[in-house]
Amino acid sequence: EPEVTQTPSHQVTQMGQEVILRCVPISNHLYFYWYRQILGQKVEFLVSFYNNEISEKSEIFDDQFSVERPDGSNFTLKIRSTKLEDSAMYFCASSPDVNTEAFFGQGTRLTVV
Amino acid sequence: TQLLEQSPQFLSIQEGENLTVYCNSSSVFSSLQWYRQEPGEGPVLLVTVVTGGEVKKLKRLTFQFGDARKDSSLHITAAQPGDTGLYLCAGASQGTYKYIFGTGTRLKVLA
């Protein structure tokens, strides 16, 4: 069964460093998403991406964040100059069409120290 | 701001009991999904509902979308310890490109 895969599963980084989280969405899906979940809190929307453009972004997704689809299979989230409060689980998701069922990856646990 | 409130927040029941979890909003959604999440893992899609009044069944789980597409419920019959987990609803609205997640219901089924 097709699935969304994310790497790495865990990432520890020093405050101020840049990190890149990687995702391989389901191959025939057209819409891609990043979400985050701070420990014990709800799943929060960061950004959606379609046709090599950002479709929508939340207030959380400021200039510190960027997304890219560098090739036909990968979808990345870059966090520049990480802060302690960026520590969270980051989930990638994909869907075949807008606002249809979305499938989530297993997540990357980011710890900023 | 769109909000999805889930109730109850926590639920602890004995194996074999029935339960219902609610997901409510003041906003209309074009589709609503239910997920189950285990600790340290990503949300796993259970079902998507799109039509007001729609009822879908997945073994012992019954999902209903409200007539006005503002609310949904998940009913579990004869709960089992394997049903333990965090249940999340997530709604998508026309003209947006995101899913808004609910606050979650943490279910524990005791053997």
Contact B33 A33 (CB under 8 A): no
Give the distance, in angstroms, between the CA of residue B109 and the centroid of all CA atoms in the same chain. 16
Domain ranges of chain A: 5-112
- Chain B residue with CA closest to A44: the answer is B101
Which among B50, B80, B78 has a CA at the least distance from the CA of B63? Answer: B50
pLDDT in tens, B9-65: 999 999 999 999 999 999 999 999 999 999 999 999 999 999 999 999 999 999 999
Q: What is the CATH number of domain A5-112?
A: 2.60.40.10
Per residue of chain A (113 residues), give pLDDT as tens.
Answer: 789 999 999 999 999 999 999 999 999 999 999 999 999 899 999 999 999 999 999 999 999 999 999 888 899 999 999 999 999 999 999 999 987 899 999 999 999 99
- Chain A residue with CA closest to B102: the answer is A42
Contact B41 A48 (CB under 8 A): no
Q: For chain B, list the domains and their CATH numbers.
A: 5-110 (2.60.40.10)
Q: B83 — phi, psi (to 5°)?
A: -85, -10
Which chain A residues contact residue B93 at CB under 8 A? 99
Query: Which residues, 6 or more positions from A32, have their beta carbon under 8 angstroms from its beta carbon?
Result: A23, A25, A48, A49, A50, A67, A69, A75, A92, A93, A94
Contact A102 B90 (CB under 8 A): yes
Contact A102 B99 (CB under 8 A): yes
Size of interface A-B (CB pairs under 8 A): 64
Q: How far apart are the two ends of chain B, measured CA to CA in Å? A: 40
> Which of A58, A100, A104 is closest, CB to CB, to B43?
A104
Query: So what's the pLDDT on residue B1?
Result: 66
